[in-house]
Amino acid sequence: MKIYLDNCCFNRPFDNQTQIRIRLETEAKLKIQEEIRLGNFKLVWSYILDYENSRNPFRERKIRINAWRKYAFEDVQECFELLKKANFLNQKGFSKMDSLHIACAIISQSAYFLTTDDKVLKGSGMVNEIRIIDPTAFIREVIS
């Protein structure tokens, strides 16, 4: 099964862990990473993940997130179809960056788009081509 993790998801372990939701999402994300390493899920990477991570002001985070690129089963690059899909998603109310991430996941035919972004999660019902879900819900739905 192919899955796409957005930049928020990759950054979750670096967030302040004092809130229970953040700790749970971090643990779920770490379990998902373990499953990717074991080959149980196929990680999809994209040019937009590269771009967004390159703008990360924290060098250590940038390096650690970029290290996940080597586990990618597929690396999605910009194309007309992707930009068309992203523009459609943007018109539905997603930000440009989120639209590009979701479009990459759809174009790659990923089964799941994983995010910790509340705005994306709230808009998930507007997207039929892929299941948009947070890491803890993914664990409950797929792994348990």
Bridge partners (DSSP) of residue 114 are: 5, 133
Q: Any idea where the domains of the chain sit in the sequence?
A: 2-143
User: Where are the alpha helices (H) located in the chain, listed in sequence order?
Assistant: 7-11, 20-37, 47-54, 59-66, 80-91, 96-107, 118-122, 135-138
pLDDT digits (tens, 9 = 90+) for 4-44: 999 999 999 999 999 999 999 999 999 999 999 999 999 99
CATH of 2-143, one of 3.30.70.100, 3.40.50.300, 3.40.50.1010, 3.20.20.70: 3.40.50.1010
- Max intra-chain CA distance, the chain: 42
| Average pLDDT of the segment spanning 60-81 | 96
pLDDT digits (tens, 9 = 90+) for 104-143: 999 999 999 999 999 999 999 999 999 999 999 999 999 8
